[in-house]
Structure 1
Amino acid sequence: MITGFAIILDEEVLYVSNSNKYPSFEIVLFVEKLTSSLNPKNYWRLTDIYFEGETGKERMIIKHIVTENNQNLFYCITGDFPFISKEVSKLLDEYIEKVTANYETAEKIKEVSNHSEFSKVIKLITGYLWDKYRDPIEDEIIDLKCSDLENKIIYCGISAQGLPIISQLYDKTLLNNFHREITDENVELFTSSISAKLATIIMNTQIRAKTNIKEVHFNDLDDHCSKKIILCSPINDYSLDFIASGDFVRIKEIFKQLEENLSQEQILRNEFVGDLKPFRYLKTQLNEFLNNNF
């Protein structure tokens, strides 16, 4: 079942079908700030965000278009969509097709976005799609494993209430994208930036959207056949955050095992009181586990 539609251009939500879904679509803005800090060449294309909370699971499907003027245009639809479905892809394609039939460019959409006529036109389009795809979309059995993909860990961290406790950057070559020398100081600054932006995503999802972010998927156009994934999982009052690339199925298996291992740690069952020293041993455990699995 579809729960909402949106159109986003750079840092502005130009259209949202129902105001109560605005906080969910707003997460795209925070995700884009994170990816721009990792990917200055703008080759990562956001495709999916998965949420899970007390009210259930929800998937946001996204078409991320970079315009000729290097603007980021996002067409987004939320719903209880299955993980893999050609029907979901058809829905998103039809949404884009009908919007662009009326407004050919991102500039035109931006120009008319404050006009009442724009909302009326998009409402007609979304109403048609809501009716057409009213029936639940079935999942499809597809083998997702791609043995040709190299699995690579980029970042892993543990946080509490938005405060980073452990932050580890494993792909230090990312600093080369910013023409920065790979020094301990630069790595620490870069890692802190990632931690802060991840915390912003997680906290805004919990506080404003009233749910939890579980997965964020990207295609990397600069790395042939490469897919990037962000995984987040609560462990008691803490959050385990993970950025990796490669075979999603295998990466999620590794993440689940790491999550299970860490959930046994007594320190993560205690309330965080601001002292980082008792958590230091976890960094060694993280390194050993990830080095053995990547």
Structure 2
Amino acid sequence: MITGFSIILDEEVLFCSNETKYSLFETILFIEKLINSINPKHIWRLNSIFFEDNGNSERIIIEHIITPENRNLFYCISGDFDINSKETHNMIREFHEKIESSYSSIELLEKASKSVMLNDMISLTIDYIKLRYNENIVPVKSENDKDQETSLNNGTKVLYCGISNQGLPIISKLYNIDFIEILKEDSNKERIEVFSSKLSAKLATIAMNTLIRAQTTIKEIHINDLRDELENIVIIYDHIYGYSLDFVASGDLYQISKVFLKLKDQIAKEEILSEEFVGDLKPYKHLKKYLNNLV
């Protein structure tokens, strides 16, 4: 079922069909900042976001375009549908194409967004999209447990893992530094530590803003890597009691999920994570061994 449509340009929501979904789409603004801070050369494209609230799943599928002026343009549709289905991809592509056929430039789209003209025109497109696709897009399916190894191979890479509490980084580790464009030229120890801390804070900001503003929980962020279609990025969020476990990896999603769940099961047995965080990082230092053993 489709729940909303949105068009976002850089840091501005130009259009949102459903005001109750505005804060959900707003999550994209924070994710865009995260992507640009990691790979400012525009080689990553935001593909989809998974949310969950009291057992109810919702997705946003995204057509992420970098304009000739290096501006980020997002066409977005939210709802309960399978991100990987052919119909879902046809739906977002057709939404984008119909808007672009009416507004052939960013300037025209921005100008129209300042008046009711855009809402009136897009309303017709939305009605058409809903009529054509609402009955055909399949609901989200829970993935079957696949018999796969819980070790990394076939080009799958862990990029980052961290534990935080209410936005405060407790432990974190970066992996495969050469994969991160901004660290390629200068990857000394101090720069890596600063980058890791900032990355942890940005990931926490996304999760907290989603929880507070959209009143839902972000579970996964999927990003396409233009360098290699097999190296798509996934950011996974989960919780252990009051602590957030954040995981960034590239490669096979099923293999990544297996490794992540194994890590979570191991760390969850640590008694310190059942205790309230009081600001002292020393009792958590031994948890670093789990991160060190990931690769």
Query: TM-score, normalized by length of structure 2?
Result: 0.92
1:105 equivalent in alignment to 2:110 = no
1:6 equivalent in alignment to 2:11 = no
Q: What is the alpha-carbon distance in structure 2 between the residues aligned to residue 69 and residue 60 of structure 1?
A: 25
Report deviation, 1:181. 2.3
Residue matched to 2:167: 162
Correspondence 1:110-259 to 2 at 5 A: 110-135=110-135, 137-138=137-138, 149-173=154-178, 177=182, 180-223=185-228, 225-259=230-264
Residue matched to 1:71: 71
From the superposition, tell whether residues 209 and 43 of structure 1 become closer, same or farther in structure 2 (CA, over 3 Å). Answer: same
Letter in 1 for 2:13: V
Residue matched to 1:92: 92
Residue matched to 1:18: 18
Letter in 2 for 1:39: N
Residue of structure 1 aligned with 2:286, choices 276, 281, 286: 281
Residue matched to 2:40: 40
3-state SS of 1:208 partner: helix
Q: Specify every segment of 5 or more residues in structure 2 that has no aligned partner in the other structure, as ranges.
A: none
From the superposition, tell whether residues 270 and 140 of structure 1 become closer, same or farther in structure 2 (CA, over 3 Å). Answer: closer
Letter in 2 for 1:122: I
Report deviation, 1:51. 0.4
Name the count of aligned residue pairs.
Answer: 289
Q: What is the alpha-carbon distance in structure 2 between the residues aligned to residue 254 and residue 226 of structure 1?
A: 16
Report deviation, 1:135. 2.1
Indicate conservation of the 8 Å contact 1:84/1:140, yes or no: no
Query: TM-score, normalized by length of structure 1?
Result: 0.92
Indicate conservation of the 8 Å contact 1:64/1:75, yes or no: yes
Q: What is the alpha-carbon distance in structure 2 between the residues aligned to residue 19 and residue 265 of structure 1?
A: 42
% identity of equivalent residues: 47
Q: What is the alpha-carbon distance in structure 2 between the residues aligned to residue 51 and residue 281 of structure 1?
A: 31
Indicate conservation of the 8 Å contact 2:91/2:129, yes or no: yes
Q: What is the alpha-carbon distance in structure 1 between the residues aligned to residue 35 and residue 292 of structure 2?
A: 24
Q: What is the alpha-carbon distance in structure 2 between the residues aligned to residue 221 and residue 195 of structure 1?
A: 24
Report deviation, 1:107. 2.5
Q: What is the alpha-carbon distance in structure 2 between the residues aligned to residue 279 and residue 99 of structure 1?
A: 51
